[in-house]
Amino acid sequence: MFIKITMVIVLLSPLYSLSQESKPPNIIMMIGDGMGLSQISSGMYSNNNYTSLERSQHVGLIKTHSFDNLLTDSAAAGTAMSSGVKTYNRVVGLDEKFSPVNTILEICRDKGYMTAIVATSTIVHATPASYYSKVKSRYEYDEIASQLSKSNINFFIGGGEKFFNDRSDKRNLINEMNDYFFANSLESFKKMNSNKIGFLTSYDDPIGKHEGRKPSLEDLVQMTVEKLKSFNKPFFLLVEGSQIDWGGHDNDSEHMISEMLEFDRTIDKVFDFADYDRNTTVVITADHETGGVAIIDGNLEDSKVVNKYVSEDHTASMVPVFSFGPYSSLFSGVYDNTEIFDKLEAIIIK
């Protein structure tokens, strides 16, 4: 009887069933900004009725509201997922009393993990910033860049070079970050052997995928994973498909679907790695849905969809969570977005 009861407890309490002897898993957190079910479905039907998310092992749903607003923004949602606390819209890395909170990236870094961020927005945009910065306004881009320069993140890739070397305070953070190497192309990033590399992919916001943005997100992420793995340490990687959200705000299906398809290809690469590695937990979700988009027509044979939008802003719809790899069962169910942090913390703290 005692053995049977113990087995039930383990099955019902996965957060407390992690072995002291188990090897810490790598964590790859992927956020499709603004990616609701209709965005996923639009990408899927535009891709011969297939999405790489079908390879997921578990699926859940999260509630996205911020501390005092049913409609969250990326700053509050990013902080909820990175730090496990609700805060106000536009606030990054601070709780409702404006006290700084630790992020899952910072906790991993302090435990000896390698860390990296790859985004298709500027690297100082709200979602990536919520993993390393503490500011009252997401629009304090110069200050966010300054905090990034002191964050000791191993690899960061995204736009926004001007916030580092064309600042109102005349500082040149690239020159100040003398322990970092800065790449100017995917090829130069690939050749660098340093454990600290920045790759600022554009002066300001990167252009959209439908406008020809290069390098591709999947190539950047694949190269980053290879670099992280080469150090023979566990790693934490944040990947943001940032511009799915921008297409939603503009009610621009071409923009939104092209970003969704690139994000989907990146997911496929990540799943390939995690399947081979056997010790990488992958979590894929969104900070919120954008545009209130619905699929109102289309054609399966031609992989075409017709979208209709009800908003140019965020909505309060729950968004899905897809997971793969060790401990991925933790991420099934319906829960608050703050629990993303709680579940990831349980994986790394034993």
Which residues are designated catalytic? 74
Q: Which residue in this structure is represented by tokens 């003398």?
A: 178
Q: Which of 209, 81, 90, 214 lies closest to 157, judged by CA?
A: 214
Q: Helix 253-277 and helix 217-230: axis angle, to 10°?
A: 20
Return the amino acid letter for 190.
K
Closest by CA position to 141, among listed 156, 121, 155: 121
Per-residue DSSP letters for 239-283? Answer: EEETHHHHHHHTT-HHHHHHHHHHHHHHHHHHHHHHHHHSSEEEE
CA 193 to chain centre: 25
Q: What is the DSSP string of 87-111?
A: --TT-BSB-TTS-B---HHHHHHHT
Q: Is the peptide bond before 215 cis (omega within 30 degrees of 0)?
A: yes
Amino acid occupying residue 195: N
